[in-house]
Chain A
Amino acid sequence: QVQLVQSGAEVKKPGASVKVSCKASGYTFTDYYIHWVRQAPGQGLEWMGRINPNSGGTNYAEKFQGRVTMTRDTSISTAYLELGRLISDDTAVYYCGRTRVHFDSWGQGTLVTVSS
């Protein structure tokens, strides 16, 4: 069955960077986009961007341009989200999701806490 398994919770200081992984199994990794979506405590879902695992091509939400990098390693069917220059407002659960257009499978979420 399709599974997306994310890396564990992180605690970072303001100004630091965080890298979250999303390992895919149960399907051909390069056949679907991987998107990253975050959810701050008590808030809604926010789309951050996507990567095409086949080409490595990316699209980032304007809000995160210059601060976010999405990559992938096809040899281990894993996508990565790196977010830099962290501030307290980046404290959130970060989800990866598989799509063609709609999200039909999600990771379990990774809590990133930014605190001094």
Chain B
Amino acid sequence: QSALTQPPSASGSPGQSVTISCTGTSSDVGGYNYVSWYQQHPGKAPKLMIYEVNKRPSGVPDRFSGSKSGNTASLTVSGLQAEDEADYYCNSYADNNNLVFGGGTKLTVL
């Protein structure tokens, strides 16, 4: 099972929007609506931001949104804030009861 493809980095100024992509195949992202996104600050455990493509857990700001088209999922962060600077990972359910992560994207708030 190959890792999902994410851009290594993304950036934006405070208040702007940024979108991070996550590309897989029909065996993972394209085949299931079980894509989730995690935020990770240095030295910390990941935190769930989006699940089942576009659902937000309680407590996650509505500035975070998710979508999917074909084999590519996306995370959009609107109204960027300094505390959004972190690494972001996508994750998808895959064939044969596997899970697969993306390589991660480092988001910088300029």
Contact = CB atoms under 8 A, between A and B. Distances in A.
B89 interface: yes
Interface string B27-53: 000000010101010000111100110
Interface residues of B, number: 26
Main secondary structure of the interface of B (DSSP, over half): strand
A39 to B, nearest CB: 9
A108 B46 CA distance: 9
Contacts of B46: 45, 95, 103, 106
B24 interface: no
Given A44-B3, A45-B46, A108-B45, A102 B104 contact: no
A53 interface: no
B99 A50 contact: yes
Nearest to B104: A44
B98 A106 contact: no
A6 to B, nearest CB: 10
Interface in A20-60: 35, 37, 44-47, 50, 59
Contact of A44 (B36, B57, B102): B102
A45 B89 contact: yes
Contact of B51 (A37, A46, A102): A102
Contacts of A59: 96-98
A104 B49 CA distance: 9
**Range for the number of chain A residues in contact with chain B:** 10 to 19
B103 A44 contact: yes
A76 interface: no
Nearest to B35: A102
23 contacts: A44-B87, A44-B104, A45-B46, A45-B101, A45-B104, A47-B100, A50-B99, A59-B98, A95-B46, A101-B34, A101-B36, A101-B51, A101-B52, A101-B93, A102-B36, A102-B52, A102-B91, A103-B36, A103-B46, A104-B51, A104-B57, A108-B45, A109-B45
Interface of B: 1, 3, 34, 36, 38, 40, 45-48, 51-52, 57, 87, 89, 91, 93, 96-104
Interface of A: 35, 37, 44-47, 50, 59, 61-62, 95, 101-104, 106-109
